[in-house]
Amino acid sequence: MVQMTPLSGLLLMGSCVTAIAAVGSIFELAYGNPTYGTTATAAILAASIPVSALMFWGAVKITKANQG
């Protein structure tokens, strides 16, 4: 059985939150009138995609390292 550490759980949670922010930003930009403006929404989208991927990768790496 794979044991997940608290740190990997936090990284996975952060990955989910940033992925939700990316999807929300896509919908806001597709709508045509973003609440926080086009520049801010595009910046959130541009930042959240790599951060989400890095957090997910980190969670997987930590969990694999702690396997017995």
Domain boundaries, the chain: 23-68
pTM of the model: 0.88
Tens of pLDDT, residues 21-49? 999 999 999 998 999 999 999 999 999 99
For helices 38-65 and 6-31, angle between their N-to-C axes, nearest 10 degrees: 160
Q: Are 67 and 22 in contact (CB under 8 A)?
A: no
The answer to whether 10 and 68 have CB atoms below 8 angstroms apart is: no
Residues 45-68 pLDDT 10s: 999 999 999 999 999 999 999 886
DSSP annotation of 4 reads P
